[in-house]
Amino acid sequence: MKKTLVCSGVAAVLALFTMPAYSAALLIAKATEVAPKSGWAGYDAGTTGGSKATSANIYQVRNKQQLVDAIKNGGDSAKIIQVIGTLDISEGAPYRSVADQKSRSQIPLTANTTLIGTDKNAKIVNGSLVVSKVNNVIIRNLYLETPVDVAPKFESGDGWNAEWDSLTISESEHVWVDHVTFSDGSFTDDQYGKKDGWKYVQHDGMLDIKKGSDYITVSHSHFNQHDKTMLIGHSDSNKSQDAGKLRVTLHNNLFEDVTQRVPRVRFGRVHAYNNLYLGDITRPVYPYLYSFGIGKEGGVLSEKNYFSVNGATDGCELVKSFTGTLFKDSGSVLNNAGMTLSGKCSFSSALPQPPYSYNPVEPGKLPNLVKANAGVGKI
């Protein structure tokens, strides 16, 4: 009798991990929420994701295959996909080449999707989420570990460069990224080797927003331990597709020990308010270089952010021009004092206020407020 019970129990557990991702119970009520109107994702038509999903299009996924099945089964219908535990996109089989990593590591999401972790243990590792040519997507309450490129490309004069981001948003509109933790995790930059005399770089970016994507909000997320963090607008030559778009709101995020590109902007208009930036210019790994990179025809409106950056004394150390000229700050703090730009840098402040309503708190409240609420498990 005992043997029968044990076998039955094992079979039940195995079934959880092998059954198709058919409709299931809603485990987290916040899966039905829509993007708030305090950012670009909530503007115009808004971002509703899968909030209107019928019971037949609510899924629970515990592995890559179930995730792929849920995306396929739901198609472009409103759907809620709930992530339980760790999803290893490599399925335990290391990538062998560029072609292998390209074919197996990317998870393309479809329109009208809410992808949400059920608790603090919801993780996606060894893979990339891709939002491409689709609209109305919500990604919440997940830990995304930066992919490791198994075959970086060597570029003369620049060294080894990696591909694969944790999340790419391309040619898509109305996307809300909320309470997501991005981290290099188990493989940090100090573990890079050398090849042909150059550092063998195996990380690319955490979040790329490009190719005319628009109406994006990134909120209450934690970006931790990374070099090239966030890219908005991928090329100086992509004006025809990007101009007038790439409108992105960043608010209540924690950027901790990230070196640069927070974000790096071309053509887009970024509104960054109530974010917390923690860094150290002298760190041996992930040293702070700058936060806002202003590229070709890009602009950043910064409001009431808090910067705690060891070694920084001037706002010009937080903003770097890559031929861009549009930057304006109002009410931000650098190391417990008002952030000001000295004569070392010069920007035009000709940036309009966004058309949506928002109520930023005073920056002095951000160290406690943002730490308590940013990232996976704090939804």
> Where residue 80 falls among pLDDT bands split at 50, 70, 90?
very high
pLDDT digits 0-9 by tens, 302-317: 999 999 999 999 999 9
> Where residue 24 falls among pLDDT bands split at 50, 70, 90?
confident
Quick one: how far is CA 226 from the chain centroid? 12
State yes or no: pLDDT of 14 exceeds 50: no
Separation CA 254–CA 276 (nearest Å): 5
Q: Is 62 a catalytic residue?
A: no
Domain borders along the chain are: 2-373
Mean pLDDT, to the nearest integer, of 219-244? 99
State yes or no: pLDDT of 6 exceeds 50: no
Nearest to 113 by CA among 60, 77, 68: 77
> Which one is catalytic: 140, 247, 261, 264?
261
The mean of the pLDDT values for the chain is 95
Mean pLDDT, to the nearest integer, of 113-119? 99
Q: Spell out the alpha helix ranges (H) of the chain.
A: 2-18, 64-74, 98-105, 239-242, 366-373
CB burial of 351-374 (b: ≥16 within 10 Å; e: otherwise) equals beebebebebeebeebeebbeeeb
State yes or no: pLDDT of 15 exceeds 60: no
Q: Which residue's entry shows tokens 């992808």?
A: 115
Mean pLDDT, to the nearest integer, of 266-286? 99
pLDDT digits 0-9 by tens, 189-225: 999 999 999 999 999 999 999 999 999 999 999 999 9
Name every residue whose Cβ is closer than 8 Å to that of residue 149 and which is 6 or more positions away in sequence.
Answer: 101, 162, 163, 164, 202, 203, 204
What is the reported pTM?
0.94
Mean pLDDT, to the nearest integer, of 8-37? 72
pLDDT digits 0-9 by tens, 121-164: 999 999 999 999 999 999 999 999 999 999 999 999 999 999 99
Separation CA 211–CA 67 (nearest Å): 26
In the chain, the amino acid numbered 279 is G
State yes or no: pLDDT of 4 exceeds 70: no
Would you identify the CATH topology of the domain 2-373? Pectate Lyase C-like (2.160.20)
Mean pLDDT, to the nearest integer, of 264-286? 99
Separation CA 178–CA 218 (nearest Å): 6
Q: What is the pLDDT of residue 21?
A: 58
Nearest to 242 by CA among 270, 218, 266, 272: 266
